[in-house]
Amino acid sequence: MTATPANTPSGHGTAIAVGLGLLAAIAIVASVIFWNKSRDANATATKAQSELTQARTEATELKKQLDAVRLESGNRQQQLGDAQAGLARLQGEVAEANALVTKLKDQLQEAKTAADRAKSKSEQDAARSATLRAQLESQLQGQGAESRRLAARLKEMEESNARSGQLRQQLEAARAQLAELQAKLDSSQAQIAARQTKRRANPWGHVLLLDEFPK
């Protein structure tokens, strides 16, 4: 095969044909590429539209969820506020309870101190009472012994008085007997004196003298 020079008319036509063929091939390739790109673009657009629709749906859903979250957040915020208010109230009540507990502890300590003082005083009073009881018992025992001694002495005195009474009665009886004997003695002495007088007056009056003696 013989090469055709490029500057010949036939060569020039061949080059044009080749160029046109190349252009046609390029055009075909470009058309194919453009069609593919258009198809891809349409597919991409369709996909993008679908994705956009899905995104809008998701966005709407997300907006709904966001609204729900906001509503829930508002509710939670309200609940949080209520909880904080309740917590503050509870803290106040706890503070009051702590103050009350502290006051009760102070009162309990005061009561315990007072109880200890009362116990100590009670023990001291009990000790003094025991001492006084012992002293009283000792005094009572001493007084009992003294009372028994006095009772015995009184009994002795009563017995002595009784004996003295008996002695007085015996003495009175003896005095009465002595007086009676003295009276008899005086009477006898008087009779003797009278007889002596009569004897001197009548020394021979034996019969008369005998008559004068008591029978």
Of residues 191 and 33, more confidence is placed in 191
pLDDT of residue 5: 47
Is residue 4 within 8 Å of residue 10, measured between CB atoms?
Answer: yes
CA distance 202 to 205: 5
Is residue 213 within 8 Å of residue 196, measured between CB atoms?
Answer: no
Please state, as a whole number, how many other Cβ atoms lie within 10 Å of the Cβ of residue 43. Answer: 10
CA distance 31 to 19: 17
pLDDT for residue 197 is more than 60: yes
What is the distance in angstroms between the CA of the first residue and the CA of the last residue of the chain? 246
CA distance 160 to 154: 9
Phi, then psi, of 94 in degrees rounded to 5: -65, -40
Of residues 93 and 202, more confidence is placed in 93
Q: Which two tokens stand for residue 205?
A: 């009056």
| Average pLDDT of the chain, as a whole number | 76
Digit-coded pLDDT (tens) for 22-65: 777 777 777 777 777 667 667 777 777 787 788 778 778 878 88
pLDDT of residue 1: 43
pLDDT for residue 115 is more than 80: yes
pLDDT of residue 90: 85
Tell me, yes or no, if the pTM score tops 0.85: no
Instruction: Break the chain down into helix, strand, coil percent, rounded to 5.
Output: 95, 0, 5
